[in-house]
Amino acid sequence: MTVVTTRDVNAPLVQPGYRAGLLDVFRRRYLLRLLVRKGIQQRYSGSFLGLLWSYVQPAVQFSVYFFVMGLILGMHKNVPNFPIHLFSGMVIVHYFTETFSQGTRSIVQNRQIVQKMSLPREMFPVSAMMVSAIHTFPQLLILWAGALITGWTPDPVGLLAGFLGIMIVAVFGTGLALIFSAGNVFFRDFQNIVSTFALFIRWTVPMIYPFSRLATSSLAGTWVYKVYLMNPISIAVLNVQRCFWSSTVKDVPNFNPDGFPSFPSHLILRGIIMLAVAVVFLGICQLVFSRFEGKLAERL
C-alpha cells in the first residue's frame, strides 16, 4: 500500500446536516443567490415570451377588473383614482400568491437535489419568495409611475405604510411557504389548496371594491369586519394603498387619508402589529418545518 499522507482537519466532530434553519439560509448567501438566479431562469424556461408572462397575466387581470368593475359596476364613480386603488392591491396580492404557490412547490420541484445533497431545505421556499419579489418589483415601479402621473407626492407616513405592507406579505408568505412546502412532500393536495386559496384571496381584500364599502355596510363592527381586519393580506393591501393611492386623492372632498372610512382607524399601528404577528408566525412555521425536515428526503 502507498504511504498515506496525514491530513489535518481542523473542523470539529459534528452531526452532519443543518440545524439552524433560516439562519443557515442567510449564512450561505452565495448558494441562495444561485438558487434565486436558477428560479428566475427556470420559471419560464422553454416559453417564447419568457419573463413577459409575468406581466401578461396581471395586465389581463387588470383590464378585466378595470372594465367590469370600473365601468360596468361603476367603481370609477365610487372610488377616486380607481386604477391606482386597484393596482396597489393587485401588486401586493400577486406577490403573495406567487410566493405562496411557488414556495409550496419549491421542495418537490427540487427533489433531485433534496434527495441527494445536504443543504438547509429552507433555502427553497426562501428563494421562491425572493424570485417572486424580483418578478413583482417592476410592477411596483409601474404602479409608482402611474401614481406619480396622477399626483402622487411622498409623505413619510405613506412610505412607512408601503414598507410595512410589503414586509407583512414577505414574512407571512415565507412562513406559509415553509409549512406548505414541507406538507406538499407528504400530500400533493397542498398545492391544490394553495391554488384554491389564490382564487378567492383577491375578494377578501379591499382592491376591487373600496374599504369604505365594507366600513359603511351593515357588516361594519360585526365579527366579519373584525376577521376581515385580522387578515394580514388585507392590512398589507390597505398599507400599500396608503402609500401609493391616498396622496393621489387627497384633494377629493371628504377624503381623510388616515382615517375612516377609506382606511380603518390606526392603520399604521395595525400594520406594525401585523408585521410583529407575521414574524412570530414565521418562527412557528420554522419550528414545524424543522420537525418534518428530517423526513423530507425519504418521502420524496
CA atoms within 13 A of residue 157's CA, in its CB half-sphere: 13
Of 15 and 218, which CB lies nearer to other proteins in the complex structure? 15
279 sits near other proteins (criterion: CB under 8 A): no
Distance between the two ends of the chain, CA-based, in angstroms? 42
Residue found under cell 489535518 = 8
Q: Name which of 101, 120, 118 is nearest 181 in CA terms.
A: 101
Q: Which range of residues in 24-32, 64-72, 147-155, 172-180 is near other proteins by CB under 8 A?
A: 24-32
Q: Does the protein bind other proteins through residue 239 (CB under 8 A)?
A: no
- Among 15-23, 61-69, 137-145, 217-225, which window interacts with other proteins (CB under 8 A)? 15-23
Residue with smaller CB distance to other proteins, 72 or 117: 117
Task: Please pick, from the candidates 20, 26, 27, 42, the single residue that binds other proteins as defined by CB under 8 A.
Answer: 42
Segment contacting other proteins by CB under 8 A, of 63-71, 163-171, 228-236, 290-298: 290-298
Piece of 4-12, 52-60, 130-138, 205-213 that binds other proteins (CB under 8 A): 4-12
CB of 45 to other proteins, least distance (A): 6
Out of 24, 38, 144, 213, name the contact with other proteins by CB under 8 A.
38
Shortest approach of other proteins to residue 276 CB, angstroms? 33
- For residue 57 the three cell numbers come to 397575466
- The per-residue DSSP string of 61-79 comes to HHHHHIIIIIIIS-HHHHS
- The reply to whether 48 sits near other proteins by the rule CB under 8 A is no
* Under rule CB under 8 A, residue 31 binds other proteins: yes
The one among 21, 22, 25, 35 contacting other proteins by CB under 8 A: 35
Cα–Cα distance measured from residue 182 to residue 292, given in angstroms and rounded to the nearest whole number: 7
Phi-psi region of 254 (alpha: psi -120 to 50; beta: other; left: phi over 0): left
- 1 sits near other proteins (criterion: CB under 8 A): yes
Show contacts with other proteins in window 183-202 (CB under 8 A): 187
> Least distance in Å: CB of 30 to other proteins?
6
Instruction: Tell me if 16 contacts other proteins by CB under 8 A.
Output: yes
Helix (H, G, I), strand (E, B) or coil at 86: helix
Q: Which H, E and C letters describe 203-249, residue by residue?
A: CCCCCCCCHHHHHCCCCCCCHHHHHHCCCHHHHHHHHHHHHHCHHHC
Q: Is 300 in the site for other proteins (CB under 8 A)?
A: no
Q: CB under 8 A: which stretch of 9-17, 80-88, 154-162, 219-227 binds other proteins?
A: 9-17
Closest C-alpha to 262, from 279, 287, 239, 285: 239
Assess contact for 113 and 50: CB atoms under 8 A: no
How far is Cα 100 from Cα 51, in angstroms, rounded to an integer?
A: 19
Nearer to other proteins, 5 or 254 (CB): 5
Q: How many residues bind other proteins (CB under 8 A)?
A: 38
Of residues 64 through 123, those in contact with other proteins by CB under 8 A are 110, 112-119
Contact between 177 and 125 (Cβ < 8 Å)? yes
> In 3D, which of 208, 277, 197, 276 has the Cα closest to residue 237?
208
Nearest Cα residue to 294 out of 187, 190, 189, 185: 185
Binding site for other proteins (CB under 8 A): 1-7, 9, 11-18, 28, 30-31, 34-35, 38, 41-42, 45, 110, 112-119, 187, 294, 297-298
